[in-house]
Amino acid sequence: MSEAKAREAICGIGASIFSRGLTAGSSGNISVKVENGWLMTPTNASLGRLDPARLSQLDDAGRLLSGDPPTKESFLHRVMYEERPVTGAVVHLHSTHSVAVSCLAEIDPADVLPPITAYYVMRVGRLPLVPYFRPGDLALSEAVRGFAGKHHAVLLANHGPVVGGSNLDAAVNAIEELEETAKLYLLLRGAQTRYLTPAQVRELQE
């Protein structure tokens, strides 16, 4: 993807995410790998009102080349790219249902959501819970690093999901699938539910 197209894609997808209430206020951030670095959404910017010309352009070392300063959560993105070289884009949201699930006391931190649908299994798979750290604590980046080698999607406790993909569409589709599955999980809580069986999950993973 050319840099100009990547700028338009980030702003278009940001507006779509914001207009559908998938992240509120100035929360949420998006990055895309481009030649010699990354494009990233700026700090304190609403995903609903991004300006293609003001996106943060960073070099391979993370230095700001042009645009506004990057999101303060840029380290979450960096860790995904560093640990998963196939990553072409990363999306992080404070999406309501995923955040709600990340606060539940009884979830399995090794695999937060059950296999409710085939698309969740194919687009997200196993979802680990990263322990809580206060905003700005760089220990969070090391905690995410511990999972990123094996997982393209992680859920930050009491915070929200971080998802990498081979390109922006893949990352966005996966994080939206995660959010929908979190919503389904909450809707089904207390009801007797048939999840996919281990054999059905294995069939999808093959």
Which positions are catalytic? Answer: 73, 119
Tell which residue, 90, 42, 40, has the closest CA to residue 69: 42
How far apart are the C-alpha atoms of 136 and 151, rounded to whole Å?
22
Distance from CA of residue 134 to its chain's centroid? 18
How far apart are the C-alpha atoms of 3 and 60, rounded to whole Å?
15
CB atoms within 10 A of CB 62: 15
CB atoms within 10 A of CB 206: 5
